[in-house]
Structure 1
Amino acid sequence: LYLDNTEYFITASTCNRQRVFLSDTRKELLRDMLRRKVEQYGLTLFAWVILMDHYHLLLRIAERAALQRFVKSLHGESAVSVNKEDGSPGRRVWYSYWDRCPRSERDFHTLFNYIHINPAKHGAVHISDQVARTEGGVWVFPKNAGGDLHDALATYPFSSYPHYTRQHGKDAMVNAWFDYPLVAHVEGDLS
């Protein structure tokens, strides 16, 4: 059941967590397709990140039917493209996708932060334990370390984080981590 004019948090992973989008070129391909599909389906994209084996989106759909069509189109076109490059026609690239609606403004902003911290969570950008760590399932950012984490995330080109940094500044982005702390979704969460 999808609703019109509603925000959704989307997670999609590759089949068997294959690192199909390991190279920057592959991530660029998916990023460019994502931008085209967002425009094609009339979606509003609030936050996004692309990693080697999954992506996260926070978006708003105007029409309920658009979400499934959008994902099907993005997954279909990207699969055909990477399979052609790899000489693997018909290979299943995407496993599935999961969606949920943010339950509150706080939940929306926490998901926004979760998307942006993902490159650090999965080692796509380097951070030390002194910069961020988890304690009891909660991400901990020492006050004096926010700048180092920000600097690492601001260099990751396959996320909306650099855009928001240019638009709102470093302090606003760092303060958002403290205003809307990240709680681990599930013990052993892989995405």
Structure 2
Amino acid sequence: MIFVPSTSQGQKKLPWPHAPLHQLSGRGTYFVTAGTYLKEHFFRTADRLQVLHRGLLSVARDYEWQLEAWAVFSNHYHFVAYSPQHEDSAESLSAMLGLLHEKTAKWINRLDDSRGRQVWHNFWETKLTYQKSYLARLNYVHQNPVKHGLVVIANQYPWCSARWFERVARPAQVKTIYSLKVDRLKIYDEYEAADEW
């Protein structure tokens, strides 16, 4: 639970209910979702999606997070990634996403002449500890453009990992992962992606 400091002596600290608690103490594989402020479609065009997509891949590389699946949309993104091998925790995730959000927010605000506007809301992460849960979330992320009605086949969406995955994975791996059901996963994804790209 995140606490706000008390304002006067003797008062107890109050729980802060609006921010998710980031539990990043252990190294491992994480499923991450981040959304824009008020679910605004700041990354609505192909050029804007490309900047966010390239930014995510770049910060993951720079922070040594191994991306295994990703999907970027006009108002949110998801990814599955393994934390850096040389670290005992996943605490660099906050810094990595902080940098991505800072740089993309400044870029979008400069583009829209809206200096200081809040672009990003927050991120949610889940540490994946069971293989079936991990594999199902890989499929969920790869297939997310289909879920949002943007394409019929996931590999047609330029800002997700499905095409890359189908190219680098063995056919049996692709078949296995794509066969996993994702309709029962408990994933916060209450976003409507903009269909123009």
Residue 12 (structure 1) aligned with residue 13 (structure 2): no
Residue 47 (structure 1) aligned with residue 69 (structure 2): yes
- TM-score, scaled to structure 1: 0.79
Root mean square deviation, CA, Å: 2.0
Tell me the number of residue pairs that the alignment of Structure 1 and Structure 2 aligns. Answer: 165
Deviations 1:115-174 (A, max 9, x none): 01110111211x3xxxxxxxxxxxxxxxxxxxxxxxx21111101110011123666434
Q: CA deviation at 1:5?
A: 2.7
Residue 60 (structure 1) aligned with residue 82 (structure 2): yes
For 2:62 and 2:189, the matched residues in 1 are separated by 32
Give the aligned partner of residue 181 of structure 1. Answer: 181
Given the superposition, is the C-alpha separation of residues 181 and 43 from structure 1 closer, same or farther in structure 2, using an over 3 Å criterion? Answer: same
For 2:53 and 2:187, the matched residues in 1 are separated by 29
For 2:80 and 2:187, the matched residues in 1 are separated by 22
The 3-state SS of whatever aligns with 1:101 is strand
For 2:148 and 2:175, the matched residues in 1 are separated by 19
For 1:12 and 1:162, the matched residues in 2 are separated by 22
Structure (1 or 2) with the greater helix fraction: 1
User: Would the aligned equivalents of 1:154 and 1:161 in 2 still touch at CA under 8 Å?
Assistant: yes
Q: CA deviation at 1:68?
A: 0.7
1:34 to 56, 64, 81: 56
* Matched letter for residue 122 of structure 1: H
Given the superposition, is the C-alpha separation of residues 19 and 61 from structure 1 closer, same or farther in structure 2, using an over 3 Å criterion? Answer: same
The 3-state SS of whatever aligns with 2:50 is helix
The 3-state SS of whatever aligns with 1:190 is coil
Residue 113 (structure 1) aligned with residue 114 (structure 2): no
Moved over 4 A (4+): 169-172, 186-189
Q: CA deviation at 1:103?
A: 2.7
The 3-state SS of whatever aligns with 1:56 is strand
For 1:8 and 1:171, the matched residues in 2 are separated by 23
* Matched letter for residue 78 of structure 2: H
User: Would the aligned equivalents of 1:116 and 1:160 in 2 still touch at CA under 8 Å?
Assistant: yes
- TM-score, scaled to structure 2: 0.77
Give the aligned partner of residue 132 of structure 1. Answer: none
Structure 1 gap ranges (5+): 128-151
Residue 161 (structure 1) aligned with residue 183 (structure 2): no
The 3-state SS of whatever aligns with 1:52 is coil
Residue 79 (structure 1) aligned with residue 105 (structure 2): yes
Once the two structures are aligned, what percentage of the paired residues are identical? 26
Given the superposition, is the C-alpha separation of residues 188 and 46 from structure 1 closer, same or farther in structure 2, using an over 3 Å criterion? Answer: closer
The 3-state SS of whatever aligns with 2:156 is coil
Q: CA deviation at 1:42?
A: 1.3
User: Would the aligned equivalents of 2:145 and 2:154 in 1 still touch at CA under 8 Å?
Assistant: yes
Structure 2 gap ranges (5+): 1-22, 192-197
